[in-house]
Chain A
Amino acid sequence: MADQILSKVIELLANGFLYPNEINCSSDFFNALRELGSLLGIELSPSFEPSIEILKEEYTRLFVNNPNEPCAHPYSSVYLDSSGLLRQRGEEEATKFYEMAGLEYSRNQKESSDFLPTELFFISELLYRENFSTLSSFLENHFLKWFPLFKNRLESLKPNPYYKILADITEALINLLKKEVIDEKA
């Protein structure tokens, strides 16, 4: 049961990292985040409900194209490959893990398969399926190798609290998972 809830929670975070839309900018979404945050000791003010317009501008600045400084590109290849290019080692690694889990990234997607929300969806999927061995390896050998670098970059851009909290919660949860599925296993 806990893993099913956690799977849903990670799915929520993946949605948070998608371009602002009616779902991830709804009061229900903010409330769910708020509650999650409080469980992890991360505070989100009760009055925090940024407009979708503000979040769209912010998302673009942080993750799409930033006219003033380098973006926090939400793709593992940018951090895992010394070239810093898209669709490199990060994507190859992620794809291998998807294959290991019997999955394939749908060709209909506009984003490459190492897009942050996609990798979070994958973690959610593994939790849902209780495939802890793949999860453990994915986190240890892939996700945790780049997510902290991404988060540093994001923080250096002084993001809107929404994205700061999303990243903090994601980090906390992933670390929790790491502890349970990797460290405790060892």
Chain B
Amino acid sequence: MKRRNFLKLSASACAALASLELQRGGVFVPRVAKASSNKGRDKLPGSLGAKEVTSVCEMCFWRCPIVGKVKDGKLIKIEGNPKSPANGPRVCARGNSGVQLVYDPDRIKYPLKRTGERGEGKWARISWDEALDEVAHNIKKVWKEHGKDSLAYFDHGASAEFMREIFKTIGTENYTNEPAFFQCVGPAALAYIKTLGYVTTGTRQYVDMKNAKAILLIGSHIGENVHVSHVREYVEGLSKGAKLIVADPRFSAAAGKSDLYLPIRPGTDTALLLSMMNFLIEKGLYDREFVERHCTGFKNLKKAVKNCSLDWASRICDLKKEDIKKACIILSENKPNVAIHPGRHSTWYGRGDTNRHQALAILAALLGAVGVPGGLYFPTPVKKGHVTFGCNEEEGEKPDTSIQEDFYPFASMFGSPTAKIVEATRTGKPYPIKLWGINGVNILQTIPNPYETMEAIKKLDFIFCEEILPTETALVSDIILPGATYLERYDSVYTYDLLTPYITVRQPVVEPMFEVRSPFWIARELAKRVGLKCFNYNEEIEFIEEELKGAGLSLKSLNQKGGLVAFKANPYRKRDELKVKTESGKIPLSIEDFEDEDLDSVPKFVPTPAPPKGFVRLIYGRSPVHTFTRTMNNLWLNNEMPENHLWLNEELAKKVKLKDGEEVILENQDGKRSWPIKLKVTPGIRPDVAYLPHGFGARSKALTKAYKKGVSDQYMITEYENDPFIGASSHRTSFVRIVKSGKVINLPELSPPPSEIPRYQMTGKGGRS
């Protein structure tokens, strides 16, 4: 066959070829010589000579200021913005790896529509018009047929904020205002709002580890949990000689740096804190002057903790009495410059979670560690213009039975508890929920008992998501809207109100790939189609300019200043100026609002059931190179840590002949089994727990790098309790045992619980029903 033989193509084929209006036009244009100013620069190796664009990282929610280095329209490298007083030129491993997110071929590239059964895995690419019309049609239909509250929105992070306006405008009570509150920081946030009058721990933690003389961490594993400026301050504090006390059932990275390590029995942290308070009060080691001037409810507190002796705590917590005493002395000797870290992820055991964080806040107050260097400090608000989108700012009318306040008195401060949304969707009670919108959160790897979540999804009339990657949640969606990554879009002006305040802006570092669109664009277009008067700006730049104007800046002037302007912090208060934003202006050591709702006004130790015989408690934590499931498919990060291993106590393992590196399967109390996982046998963990770094074990085959790597702790958490304050779901109330070569291995109990701690009763139901 020669190419001239193509002359043999029949006349009809040639005619067909000629008549077909094939697409081609515009793919290539004649080449124009590059402007001389750039001559040679793009030929320099690596990121040398690259164009630099400042922006803000979103590989995690900490949002460090960054500089993207771009050559030929391609992102080459990411560094910290040197202008930033918080992180300077540094980013963490994840921040560096944003490049790999943009160029991941697994990305959702175009709007997709489900063509087979829900979750079957059949999609077709569709146009934006078709996708948005379909979502809008379903929103309107469900709204009309079942009422506003039948629509629910699960949202997280910057990408979700604009679309949240649509659900707020519709008036549903079921936009969750970050489901993270109900799986993470909610109980802690509530405890601090009620004690200190501000969200001492939410997205940020206002705790001055940099200037602390002593630091107390209850379960916080800083170093494995990386937020650049936070870690830097912690390391600086330690390098200046701060004494570190760590209570954790696992010998974490932080424990490795501690002066005093307390290998506490899981679920007993509040007992430890109460006994410390009692000891400090009894021995007069607390900051009496501070308490008298700035706190209320001391008598109640004193009475409530009076029986919490060190002996009692030692037995409950399985700690040496001398060690607890030592911790108290360290803290007292260094008061008020002690950092009682407020923690962040607080949804551990359900019932006692708010109380545990209330106890941490009270401990800080007893030590006078509020508004002082080294203690808890106050945010420094950074001024910027106020922007409203013209959407409905009013709360929607509450349904007859609200799944917020009719079940949990403080839920509405944060939205609807996710567990309640799932339950209402499954059962239709107290009212049906028929449509879910999901944005920025992989609900199947976030909310406990994903089996229940799946059951709920099957009952929906419609489910859609805005996503960057084909997550487990995307796989079960009817329409997938491809969102731009944080490196391809504008979002908003960001301010940082911690020890090194600044203002900066997220702006696109590179052009969006494929047909992905910015979250603002998507929300605006969707609102139009739903018929809502929303978003009175055409594009992000318009409201960004307005926000910057309020700070005396414009996008141009901010960029001329290196994309960031820093301010002086005002974190501390003179003692006689201290006034917290509670009703009395003082710190309540006993909270009346809680009492009014028949909840404990002063923290009480509520034991969480101990593992059933043969099982150990499953706990989890972070990996420094991952942000949960969302970075698992990232090439570099996957390479750094592709899978998790199960930490198991050495002595325990020896008793049942399990070896380090061996592959096993986990079985939980409801008979749910995991995929195979390797054991990390170590003396660095208690024998009544097993530990898994969270976020691994992707079940979406479309996440080609992450699929089936390690085990998802989420799929092992089928037992959860809801905290009585806001309805947050507990994550440390499930238990596992080992299956090896098909044989179930019951794990012996090496630290039996004391009689005060009941044992978990196996229901044999295979999960909640």
Contacts and interface: CB of A to CB of B under 8 A. Distances in A.
Interface string B4-15: 111111101110
A99 B704 CA distance: 34
Contacts of A60: 112, 123-125
A103 B28 contact: yes
Interface in B129-171: none
B10 A84 contact: no
Interface in A90-146: 91, 95, 98-99, 102-106, 108-112, 118, 121-122, 124-125
A70 B704 contact: yes
Given A35-B9, A39-B5, A103 B121 contact: no
B701 A67 contact: yes
Contact of B2 (A11, A40, A68, A180): A180
A111 B103 CA distance: 12
Interface stretch (B16-24, B225-233, B368-376): B16-24
A80 interface: no
Nearest to A28: B16
Given A28-B19, A110-B515, A125-B28, A65 B9 contact: no
B104 interface: yes
A176 B1 CA distance: 7
Interface string A62-76: 001111111101010
Given A61-B122, A67-B475, A5 B30 contact: no
Contact of B17 (A12, A53, A111, A125): A12
B22 A53 contact: no
B700 interface: yes
Contacts of A83: 100, 635
Nearest to B25: A106
A86 B26 CA distance: 22
A71 B20 contact: no
Given A85-B104, A106-B29, A23 B20 contact: yes
Given A65-B106, A67-B475, A78-B105, A109 B121 contact: no
A86 B6 contact: no
Interface string B71-90: 01010000000000000000
B470 interface: yes
Contacts of A99: 31
Given A67-B702, A103-B29, A106-B29, A86 B22 contact: no
Contacts of B702: 65-68
B27 interface: yes
B28 A11 contact: no
A106 B20 contact: no
A162 interface: no
B744 interface: no
B556 interface: no
Nearest to B121: A67
Contact of A11 (B6, B24, B100): B24
Contacts of B115: 53, 57
B103 A35 contact: no
B17 A2 contact: no
A63 B230 CA distance: 42
Contacts of B18: 8
Contacts of B19: 28
B2 A5 contact: no
Contacts of A28: 16, 19-20
A65 B123 contact: yes
A157 interface: no
Contact of A121 (B2, B10, B28): B28
B7 to A, nearest CB: 5
Nearest to A100: B31
Query: How big is chain B's contact interface, by range?
Result: 35 or more
A5 B9 contact: yes
Contact of A86 (B14, B513, B701): B513
Contacts of A164: none
B28 to A, nearest CB: 4
Contact of A73 (B24, B105, B110): B105
B340 interface: no
A73 B103 CA distance: 12
A44 to B, nearest CB: 13
Given A6-B6, A59-B125, A177-B3, A65 B28 contact: no
A85 B7 contact: no
Contacts of A152: none
B28 A87 contact: no
Most buried by A among B27, B108, B109: B27
Given A23-B21, A68-B701, A87-B103, A98 B16 contact: no
A166 to B, nearest CB: 14
Contact of B3 (A68, A98, A180): A180
Contacts of A180: 2-3
A29 B7 CA distance: 18
Given A103-B30, A104-B30, A32 B13 contact: yes
Contacts of A112: 513
Contacts of A75: 105
Interface string A20-50: 0101001011011001100110000000000
Most buried by A among B104, B515, B702: B702
A56 B28 contact: no
A65 B124 contact: no
A104 B6 contact: no
B16 A39 contact: no
A49 to B, nearest CB: 14
B28 A32 contact: no
Contact of B7 (A5, A26, A69): A5
A123 B451 CA distance: 51
Contacts of A84: 105, 635
B124 A57 contact: yes
A184 to B, nearest CB: 10
Contacts of A32: 13, 16-17, 20
Contacts of B31: 98-99, 102-104
Contacts of B12: 31, 35
B105 A67 contact: no
B23 A18 contact: yes
A78 to B, nearest CB: 5
Contacts of B513: 86-87, 110, 112
Nearest to B515: A110
Interface in B693-707: 700-702, 704
A86 B125 CA distance: 19
B642 to A, nearest CB: 14
B106 A29 contact: no
Nearest to A102: B31
A106 to B, nearest CB: 5
Contacts of A15: 20, 22-24
B35 interface: no
A135 B739 CA distance: 60
A153 B513 CA distance: 23
A186 interface: no
A64 B106 CA distance: 8
24 contacts: A2-B4, A2-B6, A6-B6, A11-B22, A11-B24, A12-B20, A15-B22, A15-B24, A31-B12, A31-B13, A32-B13, A35-B9, A35-B12, A57-B115, A57-B123, A60-B124, A64-B123, A67-B123, A67-B700, A73-B105, A87-B513, A110-B514, A176-B3, A177-B3
Interface of B: 1-10, 12-14, 16-24, 26-32, 72, 74, 100, 103-106, 108-110, 112, 115, 121-125, 470, 475, 513-515, 635, 700-702, 704
Given A73-B105, A108-B26, 10 more contacts: A2-B6, A32-B13, A39-B5, A57-B115, A60-B123, A67-B701, A104-B31, A104-B32, A111-B514, A122-B28
